[in-house]
A and B are shown apart, each in its own frame.
Chain A
Amino acid sequence: MSEIEIEIDGHLVKASQGDSIISIADREGIDVPRFCYHKKLSVAANCRMCLVDIEGVPKAQPACSTPAANGMKINTKNDKAKFAQKAVMEFLLINHPLDCPICDQGGECELQDVAMEYGSDVSKFNLGKRIVPDKGIGALIQTDMTRCIHCTRCVRFGAEVAGIVEMGGTGRGEGVKIEPFLTEGIQSELSGNMIDVCPVGALTSKPFRYEARTWQMNAVQSVARHDLVGSNIYTQSYRGKVKRVVARDNDSINETWISDRDRFSYEGLNHESRALKPKIKVDGEWQETDWQQALQFAVDGIKNNAINPDQLGVLASKHASLEEFYLMQKLARKFGSENIDFRLDQTQLSTGSSLESSINLSEIESVDHALIIGSYTRLEQPMINHRIRKATLDGASVNTMNSKNFDFNFKTKCDALTAPQKLLSALQSVLKAVHLKTNQDTPNDVSDVTPSEIHNIIADDLIASANGVIVLGEHLNSNPNSLAIINLIEKIASATNLKIANITISGNSHSAEKVNFIPSGNGLNAISMFNDNTKAFLLMDVDSEYDFIDSKSAQGHFSKEDVFVVALSSFENQSTLRSADVILPMASFYESSGTHINFDGLVQSYSASVKSPGESKPGWKIIKVMADLLDLQGLDYVDSTQVKEEALQSSKVKSSVDEANIQSIDDSQVTTHWQYAPYASDSVTRRAKALQESNVGMINRAYVSKMTAHKIGLSDDDLYLGVPVSIEESVAVDCVFIHTNQARRA
């Protein structure tokens, strides 16, 4: 675009043809008042607050919708501009209530700020103010629509970013109301961003309601850890408690948005089941004790039970920090054990790290095609899904191979419904189709496959794509042939020259892989560890009821008389109380410093936002002291930065996917695919009240097709493994797809 020069408030500035005046002013640090303009949304120009004077133009013009032209002389602060801005302000305040003292937005309200500068202390309008009844839009967002100024930012956010057209402006003139048609609540995994974009107190955070004033809170820059993205956030705390989480801009990661999970999960920190004191189990009874005793008890237990060092198993959830992973594995290895793992929810485990992604977050939005295999990206990795959606808005096509057709917020072109047990052969069929169409040599394992029609279509799209990506998601983890499947996907990607986005792992898994938090040599992994030899366990943030792919055998093993379990945990889970011997209360999210490595490999460190409650301590400190008591050398760090620096020196073990031996499965048998809903992802989120009460949080259904239901004798609303059944044609045959918050039972 050609370069132009304009004058704005007396400064000569360069700009590109077509830039709006407001974007130039923002760049130059010139303050233009606005309500409806938002840099990430389309221009609506309906509030008229941004009126500025342009020399030679008789009337003031809206800065947000007026493109700059060469030689334009703009004045944002002269009498004409101010007069226009003040007049608009007066109109906006006709109906806006004067309830700032009881409004949660008070102190961070754009209207309040602008009114301070442009408002008049008397109004010419002494007629009654209008009142708008609230419909209510769910558990996360508090509505006070009397305060709405109809800027339509929330409406545009829904339609343009979240991909849900649920809010709209009904009525006309003074009767306009911003509301949804239904009152069932907003169905979006990104809905909380409406709170951030709303310039007034019409949409505020429901769980935060009346909790604190913004100026009383302490804001700390932090990083969200629920998914692979590591969205940038501020935690805001008051009297030592996190009261709210809001988005922090970072264009290459989360832009201006965060997922609801990142925004509202903090509520779980204050749950009544927090572990606050060290506890030990003596003769089957739990006793509170002090740290010194508890640690000694833990260390003695480990020494007595793991007579040989390789009898110790060390497991952590994927949400631990880089520092914690590093220290845990170092402790284990110094102790002499290679039994280390974080991949608790996978059916097949490789000896190396997972398949490397070959695309960046920000590149995803410019792909021309995406093939999604085994993922409901929208709920599982909302910010990555957002990038895929952006690509579709620019014309990219999306195909899927899932066991259910999900409600994506973009149109998919071709959905190849595939039951888990048939995914391997389906991918062989796609690979074969690719080979035939591109005249490549066919390897033996697919030589006698005949591609089906739908797999031909998928192959065609892959071949036609110049700049596409194959996304492999967490549904693959529970597949009995996941390694062979990932192998095949890699082959398909290289045969078609597509990039790979691996989102089978989540949370802070990249940190775990970075420091080799997986067994090497003869070490046992998260599946093989549950054998008769492993007698002592060190667990970090593990809830054996939820986290293991085979929770039954994990729980069974932990509960054995002669197995000693040390649980570092922020919560007193039922499962931990049942099977652990020591509970060492650990700081949770936002309560200790740490480091997250995201999808792009970006290393992001954060400091503690609040002190951890009760006597709980940061995980890395607990491990350090335990190492001391175990007489292990080389773990005497002064602070977590030192740990981090050392951790970052490690280099991960390359993925070695060729080892896959294919499990033969009878693919006419009905399989159950147990998939956690997004708010069951970790111990904190599972305890976040408002999230659990939201629409997404209440997902709890076993989906099955009519034919399959008939085959196994199910009908609508029956309970299947404790989950209510829905008969729908959107599910692959011979598959029951369970989407739920409940602990895994299959």
Chain B
Amino acid sequence: MISNEAKKEIDFWVSKYPEGRKSSAVMQALTIVQKENGGSLNPDLINEVADYLEMPVISVQEVATFYENYNHKPVGKHVVRFCHNISCMLNGSDELISYLEDKLEVKTGQVSKDGLVSVKKVECLGACVGGPMCQIGDQYYEHLTKEKLDNILEDLT
């Protein structure tokens, strides 16, 4: 269920677009709803967003599956969003992702046993100069190495 507070927030974004263009706010709506639901979406929520914005539900699903910032399975408290696009890949992102998977004993898309961290491969985050890189919360971490990763993970609580 989308809470009334979330609906208010969505309304704020809807009001930024011309009359009758509610659907323009779909990305913000999904973001708000995902946040409220602990970081992930599910079919019920997608249906509700569609109803609320008067859109066909498949159109909401298209948006929700196109962008990597929406999760369709429950996530950990922190999500390590690891770039696996070309610049990062050439700089060794594959190896670092495997390292992370081994260390946390998870596969990408899964949540660590303690529920603290999950790992997700994402498309280019526009920080190619700093590759390999990842994003956790609102923070970018660049020029990653195994050591750096160890330290970052240690700091996550």
Binding site for B on A (CB under 8 A): 165-172, 180-182
Contact = CB atoms under 8 A, between A and B. Distances in A.
B56 interface: yes
B61 A170 contact: yes
Given A167-B58, A168-B62, A170-B66, 14 more contacts: A165-B56, A165-B58, A168-B61, A169-B62, A170-B58, A170-B61, A170-B62, A170-B65, A172-B123, A181-B43, A181-B46, A181-B57, A181-B58, A181-B61
The residue among A166, A180, A181 with the most chain B CB atoms within 10 A of its own CB is: A181
A182 B46 CA distance: 12
A165 B50 CA distance: 12
A172 B43 CA distance: 18
Contacts of A165: 56, 58-59
B129 to A, nearest CB: 23
A168 B66 CA distance: 12
A618 B114 CA distance: 77
Contacts of B57: 181-182
A167 B46 CA distance: 15
B58 A180 contact: yes
- Looking at chain A's contact residues, the main secondary structure is loop
Nearest to B58: A168
A179 to B, nearest CB: 8
B53 to A, nearest CB: 13
What range describes how many residues of B lie at the interface?
A: 10 to 19
Contact of A166 (B43, B56, B62, B123): B56
Interface string B88-103: 0000000000000000
Interface of B: 43, 46, 56-59, 61-62, 65-66, 123
Contacts of B46: 181
Contacts of A172: 65-66, 123
A656 B63 CA distance: 58
A171 B66 contact: yes
B5 to A, nearest CB: 26
Nearest to B47: A181
B30 to A, nearest CB: 14
A167 B58 CA distance: 7
B79 to A, nearest CB: 18
A166 B58 CA distance: 6
A170 B57 CA distance: 12
Nearest to B64: A170
Contacts of A168: 56, 58-59, 61-62
A600 to B, nearest CB: 34
Contacts of B59: 165, 168
6 contacts: A166-B56, A169-B62, A171-B66, A172-B66, A180-B58, A182-B57
Nearest to B68: A172
Nearest to A170: B65
Contacts of B61: 168, 170, 181
Contacts of A169: 62
Nearest to A168: B58
Contacts of A167: 58
A639 B140 CA distance: 84
Contacts of B43: 181
B127 to A, nearest CB: 20
Contacts of A182: 57
Nearest to A167: B58
A170 B43 CA distance: 13
A44 to B, nearest CB: 14
A182 B123 CA distance: 27
B58 A171 contact: no
A166 B57 CA distance: 8
A404 B90 CA distance: 63
Nearest to A165: B56
A165 B61 CA distance: 12
The residue among B43, B59, B62, B123 with the most chain A CB atoms within 10 A of its own CB is: B62
A701 B62 CA distance: 33
A243 B94 CA distance: 53
B40 to A, nearest CB: 16
> A-B pairs with the 8 shortest C-beta distances?
A165-B56, A168-B58, A170-B65, A181-B58, A181-B57, A168-B62, A172-B66, A171-B65
